[in-house]
Structure 1
Amino acid sequence: MPSPETHIFDVFIIGAGISGIGCACHLARELPEKTWAILEAREDLGGTWDLFKYPGIRSDSDLHTFSYGFKPWASPNAIASAGEIMSYLRDAADEYGVSDKINYRHQVVSADWDSHTGLWTLGVQGPCGLIQAKCRWVFSATGYYDYEAAFRPEFSGESSFEGDVIHPQFWPENYEYAGKRIAIIGSGATAVTLLPAMASEAAHVTQIQRTPAYIYPLPKQDGLAKVLKSFLTPKQAHAVVRWKNTRLQRYFYLFCQRFPKPARRLIRKANAKRLPKNYPIDTHFNPPYNPWDQRLCAAPDGDFFEAIRRGRASIMTGDIDEFEAKGVRMKSGELVIADTVVVATGLKLKMLGGIPLAVDGELVDVPSCLVFRGMMLSDVPNFAFAVGYTNSSWTLKVDILCKYLCKLMSAMDDQRKTTCVAKAPAATQETRPLLDFAAGYVRRSIKELPKQGADYPWEMTLDYMADLKSLRNRSVLDPALTLSTAEVTNHLIGAEAA
């Protein structure tokens, strides 16, 4: 593979997580003539799945939809561990020739567009120092989490606690918790994953939550997938199960949104069925918001409830007063005794990996940009990014975005154009944050996000089936897009340049 600093690439993909690997596979499959490379700041692929090392780390979505549409999910587990997901990503990268095009320990620190040449110049901090790398398109696959920092509130009296305090994002390697009393502060997907995983070895696990969350039991394995694999090819079985699960996800989301009271009763019934008799469900499993106002947490095979039923875990709902030497004191006066406190208090957002963008020397104010088709910033040429669904599997959206990007680049080649800009509508329209979602990590970072408009193509859609129909039926060259040809690179369209 040519060096990033000596070659002009058609596309640089920033990040080798599930979005970056997916984009690379789409380029390899659909635009084999294009030159591209991945710039990855870390020492391995996987992104989130390589970063997090806490006990039980797993998907919160079924892998028949969280995997790629073009590569069947082979494991019998629909809710899968980080290890299984990493193996799947490595297989995909090897199968489509991506592995050899990943530049590890290459962190992009700046991105500057030059309209005269029609090229991006990336400042890249590599193993040998700062280099400059040039390309025609940038695809940011950095997700929206800050890998270096997490949301970590300080609690009164922490210094007096005699045990360990750990944030899941920075889990110590080989941390020994067997036989210890564990307190987990938080009620999101991380806490719901940690509790049953640690309960099997810990003396006891107590989840401390200020307010409850919705937790729904899901089968770890997909029954239909098991049946179909006995008489269909892996590709056929994957397609059928993916079709079924995308619709189940969507219909359940719509049911929760349109009929919140029946949805609440359904979830409550599923919880009560798996909890001990006369359990105080109204105290610990009765969120103050409607289902899917925040993301539901999955409990594969009801493992979360099983740990409580067996007496290995318990829940404490209420506000924390302070830490003490032996545990966490609640404002109710109760003391949660603990040897280790895990602060699963959430993540911080960092859009586009925190990389400053500039167009012709002028810094881009990302929060003021509108987002075109969920993937391009208004008035920023030849730049796309990946943000998945918040109400469904992340990768479903990424697949749609990457397919559209390939179609767009192909259409530009057909017209001998080198530059594509999404122009925001001149008339002022209603806007809202890109992630219009009530989760705490979103609300804390709302001012850092670009904006979406009120309707197509500026709306951040959350419906996979509608997005798929749009990809098939709407024109690739939307009227909001302006295409042009840069003078200097006119003769290099579709060709490599040394």
Structure 2
Amino acid sequence: MTDTSTLERAPQKSSIEHFDVIIVGAGISGVGGAYHLTQQRPGTRFVVLEALGDFGGTWRSHTYPGIRSDSDLYTFGYRFKPWVGPPIASAAEILKYMGEVIEDNDLGRHIRYGHRITTARWSSQDKLWSLEVTRSDGAVLRFTTNFLWMCQGYYRQLQGYTPQWPGMADYAGQIIHPQEWPEALDYKGKKVVVIGSGATAATLVPAIAGDCSHVTLLQRSPTYFVPGRNENDLANTLRELQIDETWIHEIVRRKALFDQEMFTHRAVAEPDAVKAELLEGVKAFLGEDFDIAKHFTPHYRPWRQRIAFVPDGDLFQGIASGKASVVTDEIERFTRTGLLLKSGEQLEADIIVTATGFNLNVLGDIDFAIDGKPLNFADTVTYRGMMFTGVPNMAWVFGYFRASWTLRADLIADFVCRLLSHMEAKGAKQVKVALRPEDKDMPLSGWIDPENFNPGYLMRGMHLLPKAGDKPEWRHTQDYWREKDDLPAIDLDEASFVYS
């Protein structure tokens, strides 16, 4: 006799749904893409497939204490919706802002939550992507689409990167990665060590310092930080003058972008001066007697890795108050009660937090194939960091390292909408990018020059990313000020684009 309960629990294949465009992910990029499609291409039939149970991406999945932006919201926010809060915002404030975008523009009807794409197959004969999707209730659904817009980010949301140190199994306390923060974790009155030196560690330490008996920031090497007031004086002045918020958003946004560009230029042209200014900012909170040379002076020039803004210097205030401390050393091994460092120092800890980065995940754990051949993303060459040789009808959003991610998400949305309209006008069902005859012997290198930008997560995963050429068309330049003019001016009929 057949066990009907087993059949009822088994995933069921559904009929196929077709859309003109499928957007992968309802984070900051996917929600922005949905808005731009409705505004620039009304009538386009599209759906946003989101693996999580709600919108927000990083801001939904990361729940560690104090999570906040490390970019100002005048530039991290969308260009089309004014930001009216403090420059550095909490995850809750960012989710509220995104929720307003969804509600105000009736985007919710286009988003399907709990839909994880498992396979994506391109057919050159049908000129379609076929997707297999597992819904959160176990049902297996099928979709087809003319165009795939990848807005899923570039790292594994729910699983962080934790190095394997000797003795971890011997440790009697809890080891936690911020991306996997337990909802009911009790750190009150506990000794906590946070391993790491990036924006996550700098956010987490001051957020928990008041409740812990003590929190120690343990770093192998220092990072540059920019401490400052979490206020924008220009925005405050314009509000006093009762200027419209739309104008304030645009003016403050342009000023912030101008200042960022000047800072980036100076970091390369006069790195010693910029370094001195950054260290003076730290010294203002910690004083002359603190060993800033050891704990907050990196060995690389400014901007080779991302520089996090520390609102109101809260990390440094925590250290100055004695609630937190910083140790610069390497881990020899875990012990039963904490950590033994290579210097011989021992750190006692009830909880150890490994704020040690994330795992690159360039295609969202989706199994891709093109005409039956598995897609190895690393075998492709990128076109301006958003399309890839040999991959038809697909665009990928990869933002900026030195500027806000959303700046590029908006630019790529404009490009995708223009490309879709161009294909429609030409009667083309397929577009892909290809190296031109003059690019045949072009030297290829990794996705990004490590001399320019070299955080650990990128270096660990460089082999997963597409190749780059030595011409602007075949690189992700990371230069907003160039791309804001270059991307809208792309000639969609130039030889890099192949239509059929």
Residues 116-195 of structure 1 aligned to structure 2 (within 5 Å) = 116-126=125-135, 127-195=137-205
Q: What does residue 121 of structure 2 align with?
A: 112
Q: Which amino acid aligns with 1:215?
A: F
Encode CA deviations 1:95-114: one digit per residue, 9 max, x unaligned. Answer: 22211211111111111111
C-alpha RMSD of matched pairs (Å):
1.6
Q: What does residue 454 of structure 1 align with?
A: 470
Residues 271-286 of structure 1 aligned to structure 2 (within 5 Å) = 271-286=282-297
Q: What does residue 77 of structure 2 align with?
A: 67
Q: What does residue 41 of structure 1 align with?
A: 51
Higher mean Cα deviation, 226-235 or 62-71? 226-235
Matched, 1:353 2:364: yes
Residues 10-409 of structure 1 aligned to structure 2 (within 5 Å) = 10-75=20-85, 77-126=86-135, 127-230=137-240, 231-409=242-420
CA contact 2:160–2:178 (8 Å) conserved in 1: no
CA contact 1:434–1:450 (8 Å) conserved in 2: yes
* CA–CA distance in structure 2, aligned partners of residues 216 and 18 of structure 1: 24
1:442 to 444, 458, 465: 458
CA contact 2:436–2:495 (8 Å) conserved in 1: no
1:431 to 444, 463, 468: 444
* CA–CA distance in structure 1, aligned partners of residues 314 and 164 of structure 2: 30
* CA–CA distance in structure 2, aligned partners of residues 211 and 318 of structure 1: 7
Describe the shift of the 1:396–1:4 C-alpha distance in structure 2 as closer, same or farther (beyond 3 A).
Answer: farther
Higher mean Cα deviation, 132-141 or 324-333? 324-333
Normalised to the residue count of structure 1, the TM-score between the two structures is 0.93
Higher mean Cα deviation, 137-146 or 349-358? 349-358
Listed as ranges, the gaps of 5+ residues in structure 1 are: 485-498
Describe the shift of the 1:424–1:356 C-alpha distance in structure 2 as closer, same or farther (beyond 3 A).
Answer: farther
2:479 to 447, 463, 468: 463
Shift of 1:277: 3.5
Q: Which amino acid aligns with 2:481?
A: M
Describe the shift of the 1:196–1:131 C-alpha distance in structure 2 as closer, same or farther (beyond 3 A).
Answer: same
Q: What does residue 487 of structure 1 align with?
A: none
* CA–CA distance in structure 2, aligned partners of residues 289 and 8 of structure 1: 50
Q: What does residue 493 of structure 1 align with?
A: none
The share of aligned pairs that are identical, in percent, is 37
Q: Which amino acid aligns with 1:133?
A: F
How many residues align structurally?
481
Shift of 1:479: 2.5
* CA–CA distance in structure 2, aligned partners of residues 282 and 4 of structure 1: 62
Shift of 1:279: 0.5
Shift of 1:413: 1.4
CA contact 1:387–1:394 (8 Å) conserved in 2: yes
CA contact 2:14–2:140 (8 Å) conserved in 1: no
Shift of 1:471: 3.0
Q: Which amino acid aligns with 2:171?
A: F
* CA–CA distance in structure 1, aligned partners of residues 435 and 342 of structure 2: 50
Listed as ranges, the gaps of 5+ residues in structure 2 are: 1-12
Q: Which amino acid aligns with 2:212?
A: A
* CA–CA distance in structure 1, aligned partners of residues 94 and 409 of structure 2: 16
Describe the shift of the 1:33–1:159 C-alpha distance in structure 2 as closer, same or farther (beyond 3 A).
Answer: same
* CA–CA distance in structure 2, aligned partners of residues 168 and 197 of structure 1: 13
Shift of 1:171: 0.2
